[in-house]
Chain A
Amino acid sequence: MRRILTVDDSASMRQMVSFTLRKAGYEVTEAVDGKDGLDKVAGEKFDLIITDLNMPNVDGIQMITGVRKTPGYSFVPILMLSTESQAEKKNEGRKAGATGWIVKPFNAEQLVAVVQKLVK
């Protein structure tokens, strides 16, 4: 079973992402912020990461930068799930190593379709 890490400081958002992906047959691990996300990445192997942008401790961009430096995570797809829709922010995310961007709220079917495409 493919493993996905979802990182968000909002419990409800984590819950919704997990619910959507578990229903689609994925194993989902939750992290409460960027720091927690980096810790989990260091200890486990994930096939895809979905992260929020604005989080306490370590934000989404910082986390992506950290993940990309982690061995074995150079090509793991990372999707940013944020309330931000500004082009500059998206560009920042892309430069840090994000694979794609979703403006909250997400479309569950679309998210599953993209995840399926990215982790197949």
Chain B
Amino acid sequence: MAATGESKSMSGRTSTTAACNLAKSGDDLLWLLRTAEDAINGLVVAFQDLAGHTDTTLKLTAAIVERVQDESVVSVLPSVRALGVAAKLFLGERLQATTGILETVTAEMALLSKLSAVTEGQGKIALDINMLTVHTKIEVAHLGSVGAGFEYLAHELADFSHSLTENTKELASHTDKRKDAAENTQHMLSVELPQLRKELTRVEVNLRDDLAQLEAGLTELSRMPEQFRVSAEDIARQIAGVVVAVQGYDITRQQVEHVQEALEVISQRFLKTDGSTEGVSQETAHAHAGLVIQIHQLHAIRATIAEWKSQIMTCMDGIFRISASDIVGIGPLVLEQERSMSSQLSHIEMLERECQAYGERIRSTLEGITNLSQLFTEHLRESEAARNRLRLLTFNSVIEASRLGARADTICVIADGIAEVSAEWGMIAEHSGSTLEEILELSERINEVMATFSGASDEQLNRTQEQTGAGLESLREASGFAASQGQKIGQTIETMRAGSGEIGKIGDQLDACFGRIDEVLSEVEKVKSQLEADYPEVKEEYDSEEIERLFSATYTTQAERDVLRTAIYGTAPSIAQSSSIGNDVELF
């Protein structure tokens, strides 16, 4: 290596000082290596713990996600929607039917009043016939032996009067009872109809509200664990990144070792430069080149450590920021919503039972009307037969009275009376018949309305109730599961956070260790500056390839070689040999 004539050599004292300072820096690096090893081991253990906890968290979250995405849970919303439609239909139909029944019962009340009038008329006729019976009997007694032919008429009249009185009483009693029942039913329906209307609106609104809440809860239940999983996976990646970075300590360790060895060699070279040589000696030039390389290596080490620290901070920040509270709270929230929805389901079941009870009452109303119409039919049939017989007897009596002449005039008057009563009875019977027809028509209408109470809406409602019940059961289980898993996740996150104190201590330890790098760097830069001040031309006094050969001999990593080339040739560092996820295995 050529020395320039104008250059002055480093004084022997300066060289010795530089050598001592570099040796001391080398010792600092040895101390750093010894101390950092424990901190690095601690960091590895701490981050492995974190990785384990994150793994647990991810497994717990995945289990929630799997359970929540189960078909039976997912189907609960459509089931509840279908239940809402079915319940609305069911209650709507019953409301309509009840309105129809109320109208029918009101109409029945009017018909029953008509029947009361009929029975009253019958009662009057029964009295008239009774009177005619008495007159006939008196006349039979008055006529003596010639009036024997009228005894049968008197007897028949008495029978007819008696049976008509009895029938009238029976009909009147039934009609009154029926009127009472109809009045009760009318009252009941008048009271219950507005309630049923209110109930329909209430069920509709409640179901809509509960459905909206449940839908929101379910959306959260399916979104929250997934969102949490993404955050946890992010932390897992950061932890893995730190673990990979810490693995790289093996490279950093070797870098530090090699810097320490180089500083020792350079120190030796300074000691050899005792000021006896004029200009820049080869030893001085090599020492300067070595210092430049070591400065680059130290900067690279510092950058690596800064990168670790940043990765660790980001990771810890992520652990502190991740919120388990949402995932812990979502299970109980959905459980609450499920309970509210289940109570709606119970309420609908209760309404259904109440509607069935209405049905029973309406059925008994229908039976009462049927019984009454049967009774009237029977009564009319019997009365008609008796009237026909009476008409025949009256006809025979008129013939017999004509044969007896003036003596039987009274019998003729009685026969006219019977004919009048019979005609009157005929009118009443006709009137009864038309009322009866109306009653039968009413029965048919009630029958039609009653069909609603056993219609298809029952089946639809039952089916949706069953489906919703099963869906809510699955949801209950899933929410319970999410709640218990969420709690475990919360505890795991807390454990991870509790471990941050230990990581903080290790971080401080690493800071203290690698803080020495700055001191060493400062010292080495000082020596280099001194050298450059003493020998401004020192930079041009060495062969780059020779320097590369000299200093790369001990390098075992691509990272070190890259830094060396940057230091000597000013080339940009090649792409890092390791990625944040670590290197693959190359099989031979």
Contacts and interface: CB of A to CB of B under 8 A. Distances in A.
Nearest to A53: B556
A16 B582 CA distance: 12
B556 A104 contact: no
B145 interface: no
B254 interface: yes
Interface string B538-581: 00000000000000000011110000000000000000011001
A10 B253 contact: yes
Q: Is the interface of B mostly helix, strand, loop or mixed?
A: helix
Given A16-B48, A85-B558, A106 B246 contact: no
A42 interface: no
B582 A110 contact: yes
Nearest to A19: B48
- Chain B, interface size category, equals 35 or more
A83 B586 contact: no
Given A15-B48, A100-B588, A110-B584, A105 B578 contact: yes
Given A16-B48, A85-B557, A94-B588, A106 B251 contact: no
B250 A83 contact: yes
Interface residues of A, number: 33
Contacts, number: 102
Interface string A57-85: 00000000000000000000001001111
B315 to A, nearest CB: 16
A84 B103 CA distance: 98
A111 B583 CA distance: 9
A119 interface: no
B582 A108 contact: yes
A15 B55 CA distance: 18
A30 to B, nearest CB: 13
B586 A12 contact: no
A99 interface: yes
A41 interface: no
Interface in A87-118: 90, 94, 98-108, 110-111, 114
B586 A11 contact: no
B588 A15 contact: no
B548 to A, nearest CB: 14
A29 interface: no
Contact of A16 (B246, B254, B577, B588): B246
Contacts of B41: 11-12, 15
A61 to B, nearest CB: 13
A107 B582 contact: yes
Contact of B250 (A13, A86, A108, A110): A13
A12 B585 contact: no
A13 B44 CA distance: 9
Given A15-B45, A94-B588, A103 B249 contact: no
29 contacts: A11-B41, A12-B41, A12-B43, A12-B246, A12-B249, A15-B41, A15-B45, A16-B48, A23-B52, A83-B250, A83-B254, A83-B556, A84-B556, A98-B588, A99-B587, A100-B586, A101-B588, A102-B583, A102-B584, A102-B586, A103-B578, A104-B250, A104-B583, A105-B244, A105-B583, A106-B244, A107-B582, A107-B583, A110-B585
Given A102-B585, A107-B584, 15 more contacts: A15-B44, A53-B556, A85-B577, A99-B587, A102-B584, A102-B586, A103-B583, A104-B247, A105-B244, A105-B250, A105-B582, A106-B585, A107-B583, A110-B582, A110-B583
Instruction: Rank and list the top 6 A-B pairs by shortest CB-CB distance, nearest first.
Output: A105-B247, A107-B582, A100-B587, A114-B585, A83-B557, A12-B44
